[in-house]
Amino acid sequence: MPTPRTTAQRTALLDVIGARRGAFSALDLFDAVRERAPRLGLATVYRTLDRLEQDGVLRRLGGSAGSADRFVVCDPSHHHHHLICTGCGSVEETELCAAPPEGELKRRHGFVATSHQADVYGLCRSCAA
Amino acid sequence: MPTPRTTAQRTALLDVIGARRGAFSALDLFDAVRERAPRLGLATVYRTLDRLEQDGVLRRLGGSAGSADRFVVCDPSHHHHHLICTGCGSVEETELCAAPPEGELKRRHGFVATSHQADVYGLCRSCAA
DNA sequence: ATAACTGCAAACGGTTTGCAAGTCT
DNA sequence: AGACTTGCAAACCGTTTGCAGTTAT
């Protein structure tokens, strides 16, 4: 895994991603970055997103097949979950953990948990009004 | 929403689904049912799965785009979560639930939770050995 | 009779890939 | 120079849809 190179496309992508607050799809990103880099190809967006996901910078929120994957900027250094607003699609993080405790899972089910995905759906502050 | 009709295809599908223990994809189901109903179309499988999901009989475990959705037989009458084995693909249910208390979410994030989805990945009892 | 269901094939949307050309180091 | 990156277009995969024919009620 080589060190990423500093290309115009990569810079533009990182720039736009850094300015995002909520979740976005590859196409969202494509459209946004294209305004400043019209020749950007969609494939490059996907390749960059994959890489950022591997690096732990982004987290992929997989939806059902047929709908596009979405990504959120994600600090992997602390454990957190996502609050996904069904009204406006925004995503925020919370430190409150929504997963069954590992010890209890082991005891009652013999199940050794390695990771969990606990996303909470509902309405964010603005949409709740 | 009309009452479903009793057709040969539907019967065969329900039959195979009922005998399943773990999670399965539409294609898994298609292959299995085809052995007894060779003329079955894949579209019918999808249409039936959609319907069963709406009826709460199945739950769809969405993967990332590009990979197929999988389904599990699901009793919607009681709250539960899934323990998904990354070794053998089996899925079991647990009643253990540690969802963040709604009051806390409301207070700290202004977020009104309506539902949550907490799937835990890891190794089941047999695979852990 | 008629509303629902089916198979087929074609369309679809999102994502990935092969490749020749271009670019960072 | 040489490895990496890019754009483009075509391929890919799972899923959905239009439609004409069939079937349960």
| Domain count across chain B | 2
Residues of the domain holding B115: 79-124
Chain B residue at shortest CA distance from A102: B120
Rounded to 5 degrees, what are φ and ψ at A107?
-65, -45
Top mean pLDDT of A81-85, A96-100, A107-111 is at A107-111
Residue of higher predicted confidence among B60 and A82: B60
Q: How confident is the model at residue A101 (pLDDT cuts 50, 70, 90)?
A: confident
Contact B83, B124 (CB under 8 A): yes
Statement to judge: residues A50 and A111 lie in one domain? no
Instruction: Based on the fold, state whether residues B68 and B85 are members of the same structural domain.
Output: no
A1 touches strand D (CB under 7 A): no
Q: A104 pLDDT exceeds 80?
A: yes
- Which residue, chain included where needed, has tokens 């084995």? B85
What is the Cα–Cα distance from A106 to B122, expressed in whole angstroms?
A: 11
B129 part of a folded domain: no
CB contact under 8 A, B94 and A112: no
Q: Would you tell me how many other CB atoms lie within 10 Å of the CB of residue A15?
A: 12
Distance CA A58, CA A70 (A): 10
> In this complex, is the C-beta atom of A88 within 8 Å of any C-beta atom belonging to chain B?
no
A118 and A66 share one domain: no
Q: Which nucleotide C1' is nearest A3 CA?
A: D4
> Which pLDDT band, with edges at 50, 70 and 90, does A113 fall under?
confident
Q: What is the pLDDT of residues B65-124, one digit of tens each?
A: 778 898 988 776 677 788 877 777 677 888 887 677 788 888 999 988 877 777 787 888
The CA distance from A99 to A81, in Å, is 10
Co-location of B4 and B50 in the same domain? yes
Contact A121 B122 (CB under 8 A): no
B63 interfacial to chain A (CB closer than 8 Å): yes
Q: Does A87 touch chain B (CB under 8 A)?
A: no
Task: Give per-residue pLDDT as tens, A54-81.
Answer: 888 898 877 677 788 989 887 666 677 7
For chain B, the DSSP string reads -PPPP--HHHHHHHHHHHH--S-EEHHHHHHHHHTT-TT--HHHHHHHHHHHHHTTSEEEE---TTSPPEEEE--TTS--EEEEETTT--EEEE----PPPHHHHHHHH--EEEEEEEEEEEE-TTTT-
Summarize pLDDT for A8-37 with one digit per residue, the tens: 999 999 999 999 877 899 999 999 999 989
Q: Could you say which DSSP state residue A74 is in?
A: -
- Is B114 in contact with A121 (Cβ distance < 8 A)? yes
Q: Does residue A129 lie in a domain region? A: no
